[in-house]
Amino acid sequence: MRTLLLSLLSASTAFAQGELSAPLVKADLSKPDPAAAVWKSAPAPLSVSLMGQPMVTPRPEATTTSELKVQAVHDGTRVAFRLTWKDDGVDEAGVLGTFSDAAALQFPVGNSDTPPPVMMGGKDQPVHIFHWRAQYQRDAEKGKPTPKDLYPNLNVDMYPMEFHDMGSLGRKPDDNRDQFSPGRATGNPQAYSKTGVDEIIAEGFSTSSVQEGHGSAGKATWANGEWSLVITRPLKSEGGSVLNPGGKSFVAFAVWQGGKKEVGSRKCLTMAWTPLSLGK
């Protein structure tokens, strides 16, 4: 408890965040591109402070990502955010015991003056999260890795239900293929190839639930010890966060450094909402 209080005290410096404005631009924001020209003319990046998630265990012992630089623009139908943060290397997870670099944007569902609790929302106060992972981006770019991709020296005689000739069983090889892969058989979105960004609705810690994509996309590049990530999303999404040109809302941020074994609740995040205003 003492540690928690100390964490909160040191968090007070992280509470005050500037306002993020997303001007209306004439650009194609459907394809996320961290190097696009639009970011050169966009307002200078806003610096937001992050700290190690202090509220629930398990949590990081130290703040690994303390600063995030953010820009935002919208084109009347989509809004895009460009995030940069320092990270020593690229971590895409894969083999056992490895974790992926990741970042997330969080918006309130519903636009009231008082946003939901900043950490994952609360009961009946949902938040809409756009979660990018390097691992998911790898899926989108190179295909979801097979065990053979992860372990090149792997040798397996055969997998059940993957025989070329099912003989008297008479089934097509694809039938029941996932029967022995419970994650896939139960339809867990985690077990299928990803497009880069997961859309998540949450009503508090441990409630996050991946939704069918509403057309968001993400693309990041890593160079010189820094990730540059663009997440683009439609302004309006049914059942999710709705942003209006000329209107105001809030946004919050989180970053995971896979190389430091951060995943799930082991993350660095903003301790307060950043006010977001959209240009007309």
Partner 1 sequence: MSVKNWQLKRDMDYPYPEARPKKQWAIVFDLNKCIACQTCTLACKTTWTSARGQEYMFWNNVETKPYGGYPLAWDLRVLEKLGRQDWAKNGSYAGKTIFEAAPPSERAVHFNPTDEDWMYPNVGEDDCAGGPVGAGGAAMSALPHDKWFFYLPRTCAHCTYPACLAACPRKAIYKRAEDGIVLIDQSRCKGYGECVRACPYKKSMYNPYTRVSEKCVGCYPAVEQGIQPQCVVNCIGKIRVMGFINPPWAARDDNPVDYLVHKKGLALPYYPQLGLEPNIYYIPPIHADREYLAQMFGPRVDDAIKAYQGIARDKTAQALMVLMGSTDRIIHRFAAEKDQAVAFNEVGTEIARVPITEPVIDRPAFDERLGAVRNNTP
Q: What angle do CA 48, 51, 23 make, to 5 degrees?
A: 20
169 is a contact residue toward partner 1 (CB under 8 A): no
DSSP state of 14: H
Among 69, 86, 184, 248, binds partner 1 (CB under 8 A): 184
Least Å from the CB of residue 190 to partner 1: 5
61 is a contact residue toward partner 1 (CB under 8 A): yes
Query: Among residues 181 and 211, whose Cβ is nearest to partner 1?
Result: 181
Q: What angle do CA 224, 264, 73 make, to 5 degrees?
A: 55
Query: Among residues 69 and 177, whose Cβ is nearest to partner 1?
Result: 177
Q: What is the DSSP string of 112-136?
A: -SSPPPTTT-BTTB-EEEEEEEHHH
Cα-Cα end-to-end distance for the chain: 46
User: Which range touches partner 1 (CB under 8 A), out of 12-20, 63-71, 219-227, 260-268?
Assistant: 260-268
Least Å from the CB of residue 3 to partner 1: 4
Measured CA to CA, the distance from residue 52 to residue 226 in angstroms comes to 19
Least Å from the CB of residue 95 to partner 1: 5
19 is a contact residue toward partner 1 (CB under 8 A): no
User: Which range touches partner 1 (CB under 8 A), out of 65-73, 80-88, 184-192, 269-277?
Assistant: 184-192
User: Which range touches partner 1 (CB under 8 A), out of 41-49, 67-75, 164-172, 205-213?
Assistant: 205-213
Least Å from the CB of residue 129 to partner 1: 12
SS3 for 173-229 is CCCCHHHHCHHHHCCCHHHCCCCCEEEEEECCCCCCEEECCCCCEEEEEEECCEEEE
Among 31, 185, 215, 239, binds partner 1 (CB under 8 A): 185
Tokens of 56: 């629930």
Question: CA 62, 63, 65, 66 torsion: positive or negative?
Answer: negative
Among 23, 45, 94, 275, binds partner 1 (CB under 8 A): 94
SS3 call for 5: helix
Query: Among residues 94 and 275, whose Cβ is nearest to partner 1?
Result: 94
9 is a contact residue toward partner 1 (CB under 8 A): no
Measured CA to CA, the distance from residue 107 to residue 26 in angstroms comes to 24
Least Å from the CB of residue 161 to partner 1: 8
CA nearest to 273, candidates 103, 119, 125, 122: 119
Among 21, 25, 59, 140, binds partner 1 (CB under 8 A): 59
225 is a contact residue toward partner 1 (CB under 8 A): no
97 is a contact residue toward partner 1 (CB under 8 A): yes
Measured CA to CA, the distance from residue 222 to residue 32 in angstroms comes to 15
Binding site for partner 1 (CB under 8 A): 1, 3-4, 56-61, 94-99, 146-147, 150-151, 154, 156, 159-160, 180-188, 190-191, 205-206, 208, 261, 263-265
